[in-house]
Amino acid sequence: DTGVSQDPRHKITKRGQNVTFRCDPISEHNRLYWYRQTLGQGPEFLTYFQNEAQLEKSRLLSDRFSAERPKGSFSTLEIQRTEQGDSAMYLCASSFIGTSGAYEQYFGPGTRLTVT
Amino acid sequence: KQEVTQIPAALSVPEGENLVLNCSFTDSAIYNLQWFRQDPGKGLTSLLLIQSSQREQTSGRLNASLDKSSGRSTLYIAASQPGDSATYLCAAARRSNDYKLSFGAGTTVTVRA
């Protein structure tokens, strides 16, 4: 397994356009998280999944954002009607949660979004 | 809510010096704490994870300590090298928060050759 992958690595879009990002977690991981990171700050939690179920959406996630994880495998994050304030690094992480507890989160390389 | 702070925001040291990076958190009821490295424009690489029951964790030149009672973790990097230049982030997970990570803003380290 090569770890968590994200696609695309960079995306430049014009304000008002829709964008979709993809995350492929480590195959045996049942948890998948999305975080957003702006320059000079640590990542902030956006949403997460346990298998295919979306468990929580942060208040940072407006109605323009939607995420899915069909069949509990890869996940997509869509932003509709992008705004300049959406410009950030979008990070995906995965981990395994079991009866013995939670294991470390592994992060992908991120998708850098620039909205012009 | 868990608040995580990393001070200083930036650090510059000559090659060979030992690095000491600080992380403080407000809620001592953590489940575990992770240290990450981030190179410019890149994702996060996990360095060390310390469970709440542990006092320290070591990997090569890296050693991380955890003191829950004082709400602090410290990452030590021995004999720093220019290749250690990066931003180092700490993140705390709580069972009550379903293990979501709360991050500090990071410490950017420059090791001068």
**Closest residue, chain B, to A46 (C-alpha):** B100
Min CA distance, B111 vs chain A (Å)?
A: 19
H-type alpha helices, A25-111: none
Task: List the one residue out of B95, B106, B35, B105 whose CA is nearest residue B66.
Answer: B35
Residues near A25 by Cβ (< 8 Å), separated by ≥ 6? Answer: A4, A32, A73, A74, A75, A92, A94
Distance between CA atoms of residues A26 and A9, nearest Å: 18
pLDDT one-digit tens code per residue, A26-53: 999 999 999 999 999 999 999 999 999 9
Contact B98 A112 (CB under 8 A): no
Answer whether B50's CB lies under 8 Å from B32's CB.
yes
Q: Which parts of chain B sit beneath pLDDT 50?
A: none
Give the model's confidence band at A18: pLDDT under 50 very low, under 70 low, under 90 confident, else very high. Answer: very high
Task: List the one residue out of A1, A41, A43 whose CA is nearest residue B44.
Answer: A43
Which of A54, A60, A94, A104 would you mutate first to test chain B, the one with the most B CBs within 10 A?
A104
**Closest residue, chain B, to A105 (C-alpha):** B46
Residues near A63 by Cβ (< 8 Å), separated by ≥ 6? Answer: none
